[in-house]
Amino acid sequence: MTIILTFDNCNAIPPSCIAKIIQGDKLSRNGGIWRIENEIRPSDLYCYLYAKFGEPNGIQNLLRQNDSDNLIHWEWVLAHSNGLIFIMGLNLRTEVHLIGDWEFSKYSKDQFINYIKKDIKKYGKKMSDFRKNVLEHWDIFTNPYHDINTAIKQLVRDLNELKLNPEEEYLANPSDFSEYENFVEKWNALISRYHRGIGLAMGIKSLTPVLAESFVNLLIYLLCKPDIKNNERLYQNFVRGNIDIKVQSLHNNCFGFKGPVDWSSEVCTKYNSIVNERNDLLHGNINIEKLKFQDIFFREKVPLFKEYSTIWQQSVGVSINSSGLETIQDGIANIRNFENYVLSQLEDGIEDQVRTIMEKRDLGINRTTGRIGVLLPDILVDFGVSFISKK
């Protein structure tokens, strides 16, 4: 026969009593653990327990740090005729621990959940008032700058692992037929690595200017003055403007800047060159001066080469130059210099906050106030704990 666990005869007891009961030798360590994920919304369960029993009373509430980086975020401990009921909110689930004289196999988690769902209806008004007057409602969103930055770092790692060295690995044409077999073997070993490396280089070259653009847009989102941010047309006009206009307008349209960003500076000039190169690449722009790699004469249909090229120069060499393989690190360094220069124009305290936010994948915005914050740690830790005796 299944026994339905209810809270009808349960009481929330002070932490000092909980500690004495656990440390004493009178409480039987029989029982078990239920793991609840989304059968009941964690926030609903918290509001329900608060409405029914008051503030969380478990010892874990005293041990937690005053931030969101904890193993256990909240805990209620209820006294029952059979012993104790621990209800803990973790990062990935809620755990219910029954400790004492429990015939655990006779109790059903599903029936316990159904009981709570029915009992919640009695506390709807209290729960609604608690949500409205006590809780803050935040939306969590991904930080595009962080995602692009992470992608570039991974692409660079992949490129570095190929250990490409065009100067050292340059393959000259075979000098006679006896060398062709050896040449083909070396060529096949090299070509797949270089094709992959050239693809990675083009990906990095395309993304690096986007990284700086996402950096500027993040600054605008964080620091834009309310009279602009709250006016949709003004805000969209600012955000969608050309990058040079946006950057030069930061000190006027955003708070926290000590002075304007000098677009004529060497740092900005190098960044703008990277943007132009990226645009040519993405849009397939035809710019002969940038794209040409050789010139040639023809007499009718007879080609007259000015000089002969090797197979390497005509294939891999052309792709290396067009992909920017050998200038990737310089391009990334120019983007970092641009970021650091713009950040240097911020007041010290604000600069530190922006740098912290840049490193976070997940950000939050308060639905009521519009305040931006870092809500959760980068890594959510999971663990298991039990006071139950092992038989």
- The tens digit of pLDDT for each residue in 47-59 reads 999 999 999 999 9
Instruction: Answer yes or no: do 305 and 185 share one domain.
Output: yes
Per-residue pLDDT tens for 319-341?
Answer: 677 667 777 888 999 999 999 99
The answer on pLDDT for 301 being more than 90 is no
Average pLDDT of the residues in 199-227:
91
> d(Cα 76, Cα 50) in Å, to the nearest integer?
9
In terms of domains, do 310 and 168 share one? yes
Rounded to the nearest integer, the mean pLDDT of the chain is 85
**Co-location of 125 and 219 in the same domain:** no
In this structure, the answer to whether residues 276 and 187 fall within a common structural domain is yes
Task: Measure the CA–CA gap between 183 and 173, rounded to whole angstroms.
Answer: 8
Residue 52 has a pLDDT of 95
CA 272 to CA 242: how far, in whole Å?
11
Residue 305 has pLDDT above 80, yes or no: no
Q: Cβ distance 287 to 280 under 8 Å?
A: yes
The secondary structure of residue 86, as a DSSP letter, is E
Structural domain contains residue 369: no
Contacts of residue 29, Cβ cutoff 8 Å, sequence gap at least 6: 99, 387, 388, 389
> Rounded CA gap, 266 and 337, in Å?
10
Average pLDDT for residues 195-217, to the nearest whole number? Answer: 90
DSSP per position, 178-209: GGHHHHHHHHHHHHHHHHHHHHHHHHHHHHHH
Q: In what order do the strands lie in the sheet with 94-100?
A: 11-12, 72-80, 83-90, 94-100, 30-36
Q: Is residue 385 part of a domain?
A: no
How close are the terminal C-alpha atoms of the chain, in Å? 23
- Return the SS3 of 79: strand
Whether the Cβ atoms of residue 217 and residue 352 lie closer than 8 Å to each other = no
Cβ atoms of residues 272 and 244 within 8 Å: yes
Q: Kindly state whether residue 364 falls inside one of the protein's structural domains.
A: no
376 within a domain of the structure (yes/no): no
Looking at 82, 106, 138, which one is the last position of a domain? 138
Domain count, the chain: 2
Instruction: Tell me: pLDDT of 290 over 70.
Output: no
- Confidence at residue 307, expressed as pLDDT on a 0 to 100 scale: 63
- Residue 122 in any domain: the answer is yes
E strands within the chain? Answer: 11-12, 30-36, 72-80, 83-90, 94-100, 138-142, 296-299, 302-305, 362-366, 372-373
Q: Are 4 and 117 in contact (CB under 8 A)?
A: no
Segment among 8-22, 117-131, 278-292 with least mean pLDDT: 278-292
Q: Are residues 56 and 161 in the same domain?
A: no
pLDDT, position 249: 94
Does the pLDDT value for residue 343 go beyond 60?
Answer: yes
Please tell me what DSSP assigns to residue 4. Answer: P
Tokens representing residue 315 in the block: 């294939």
Task: Indicate whether 388 belongs to any domain.
Answer: no
Q: Is the pLDDT of residue 384 over 80?
A: no
Residues 317 and 334 reside in one and the same domain: yes
Whether residue 207 is contained in a domain is answered as yes
Is 70 exceeded by the pLDDT of residue 204?
Answer: yes
pLDDT attached to residue 326:
77
Mean pLDDT of 87-96: 93
Asked which of 294, 316, 338 is the last residue of a domain, the reply is 338
Residue 327 counted as domain residue: yes
Lowest pLDDT segment from 101-105, 183-187, 226-230, 359-363 = 183-187
Q: Are residues 156 and 304 in the same domain?
A: yes
Rounded Cα gap, residues 284 and 157, in angstroms: 27
Residue whose token pair is 């008004």: 125
For the segment 270-290, the average pLDDT, to the nearest whole number, is 67
Final residue belonging to a domain, choices 301, 316, 338: 338
Least confident range of 81-85, 187-191, 222-226, 282-286: 282-286
pLDDT at 180: 73
Rg (CA), the chain: 32
List Cα–Cα distances, 207 to 145, 239, 296, 325, in angstroms: 11, 19, 34, 14
CA separation for the pair 338, 343 (Å, rounded): 9
Residue 53: per-residue pLDDT = 95
More confident residue, 199 or 387: 199
pLDDT of residue 181: 76
Q: State the residue range of the domain holding 117.
A: 11-138
Give the residue from 10, 32, 29 showing the smallest Cα distance to 115. 10
pLDDT bin (cut points 50, 70, 90) of residue 389 is low
Q: Is there a single domain that holds both residue 189 and residue 276?
A: yes
Answer yes or no: do 318 and 179 share one domain.
Answer: yes
- 49 and 179 housed in the same domain: no
Closest CA relative to residue 41, chosen from 113, 112, 133, 97: 113
Residue 268 shares a structural domain with residue 131: no
Q: Is the dihedral of CA 50, 52, 53, 54 positive or negative?
A: positive
10 Å CB burial of residue 345 (0-12, 13-18, 19+) is: middle
Q: Nearest to residue 165, comparing CAs of 320, 311, 329?
A: 320
Same domain, 109 and 185: no
Among 12-21, 220-229, 375-384, the minimum mean pLDDT is found in 375-384
